[in-house]
């Protein structure tokens, strides 16, 4: 098991880093409606996923189990299943970590979910910046924590599905350009990891999710986000195959009212393939296919602007962590 001990990474506190970028965390909970009409931290159906994130994922904000198969939306995302397609059974639960984010106004809300059966050790978070080669280790993010809880997991009753939500200044991630926020934990004798690689597309902060980060059934779940109405994955060659290397650029805004160009009644996708390993966990991806298709009710926004030939650097923190 390899850990992030590469000497080229410099530990730095989040506070110091944000202060260095001219940013300080806002204080107190921000529960008023945003300009976009979404309320931060509001989880109408109580399934653990905040409303704004559900809109982004395409799941119902008022149904804990969107596809009615008995598994909550959160449970399915963590287990790598498809929250939009009813399944009779989902593979037996295994320890898993799922991290996602949504942006509202000036804030970036990061939701983390950890499914485990017994002890949890070594819970750590990392933020790696492309141009600074810095890592923000472990509990430093705790001062940005705004909510913790247990999400319902009716089909994994003997397990605990813990959730932690952080609120971070969006501008810090926009300033960083390419960066990656990663989480790691050891539970039930397993190392579990997940990460959100961020990048900018035409001045819009998006997350890059390459298929190679996922294995097995996880590809199905991520691919289904397509039909939810934003970005599109699982297209073309490597889609659905572990390590296939394709992926997509997901917007962080929840939907209507997002910045950038909206295209109603369309879904859009990109196929990204890795073209070079730049070392130090950096992988260069190129968009080899991108298009939009008609789909009533869907909204394709910022990510539509990614075009064939565009290149993005992914910081694969999980790879560095040995996950």
State which residue, 45 or 316, has the beta carbon closest to Ca ion: 45
Judge contact between 112 and 99, C-beta under 8 A. yes
Q: Give contact residues for Ca ion (rule: CB under 5 A).
A: 43, 45, 47, 49, 65, 67, 69, 71
State which residue, 45 or 194, has the beta carbon closest to Ca ion: 45
Q: Residue 195 CB, nearest distance to Ca ion (Å)? A: 22
Q: Residue 185 CB, nearest distance to Ca ion (Å)? A: 23
State which residue, 43 or 253, has the beta carbon closest to Ca ion: 43
Q: Residue 74 CB, nearest distance to Ca ion (Å)? A: 7
Q: Is 63 exposed, middle or buried (0-12, 13-18, 19+ CB in 10 A)?
A: middle
Q: Residue 187 CB, nearest distance to Ca ion (Å)? A: 23
State which residue, 11 or 42, has the beta carbon closest to Ca ion: 42
The residue among 317, 48, 319 whose CA lies nearest residue 57 is 48
> What gap in Å lies between CA 257 and CA 254, rounded to an integer?
8
> What gap in Å lies between CA 205 and CA 198, rounded to an integer?
7
Q: Residue 204 CB, nearest distance to Ca ion (Å)? A: 25
Paired sense of beta strands 10-11 and 134-135, if any: parallel
State which residue, 50 or 178, has the beta carbon closest to Ca ion: 50
Q: How many DSSP H helices and E strands does the chain contain?
A: 6, 14
Judge contact between 102 and 56, C-beta under 8 A. yes
> What gap in Å lies between CA 154 and CA 221, rounded to an integer?
19
């Amino acid at each position: 098991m390899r850990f992030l001990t590469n000497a080229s990474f410099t530990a730095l506190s989040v506070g110091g880093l944000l202060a260095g970028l001219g940013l300080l965390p806002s204080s107190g909970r921000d529960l008023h409606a945003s300009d976009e009409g979404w309320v931060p931290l509001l989880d109408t159906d109580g399934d653990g996923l905040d409303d704004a994130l559900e809109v982004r994922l395409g799941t119902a904000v008022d149904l804990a189990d969107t596809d009615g198969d008995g598994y909550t939306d959160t449970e399915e995302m963590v287990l790598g299943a498809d929250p939009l397609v009813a399944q009779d059974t989902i593979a037996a639960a295994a320890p898993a970590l799922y991290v996602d984010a949504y942006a509202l106004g000036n804030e970036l809300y990061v939701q983390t979910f950890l499914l485990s059966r017994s002890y949890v050790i070594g819970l750590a978070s990392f933020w790696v910046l492309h141009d600074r080669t810095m890592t923000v280790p472990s509990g430093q993010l705790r001062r940005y924590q705004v909510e913790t809880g247990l999400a319902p997991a009716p089909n994994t009753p003997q397990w605990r599905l813990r959730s932690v939500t952080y609120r971070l200044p969006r501008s810090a991630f926009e300033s960083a350009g390419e960066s990656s926020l990663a989480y790691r934990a050891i539970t039930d004798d397993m190392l579990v990891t997940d990460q959100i690689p961020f990048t900018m597309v035409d001045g819009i902060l998006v997350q890059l999710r390459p298929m190679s980060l996922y294995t097995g059934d996880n590809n199905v779940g991520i691919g289904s986000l397509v039909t939810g109405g934003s970005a599109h994955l699982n297209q073309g060659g490597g889609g659905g195959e572990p390590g296939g290397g394709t992926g997509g650029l997901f917007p962080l805004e929840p939907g209507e009212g997002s910045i950038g160009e909206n295209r109603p009644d369309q879904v859009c996708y990109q196929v990204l393939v890795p073209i070079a390993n730049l070392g130090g966990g950096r992988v260069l991806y190129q968009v080899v296919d991108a298009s939009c298709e008609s789909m009533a009710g869907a909204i394709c926004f910022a990510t539509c602007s990614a075009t064939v030939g565009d290149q993005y650097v992914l910081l694969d923190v999980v790879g560095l962590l040995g996950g």
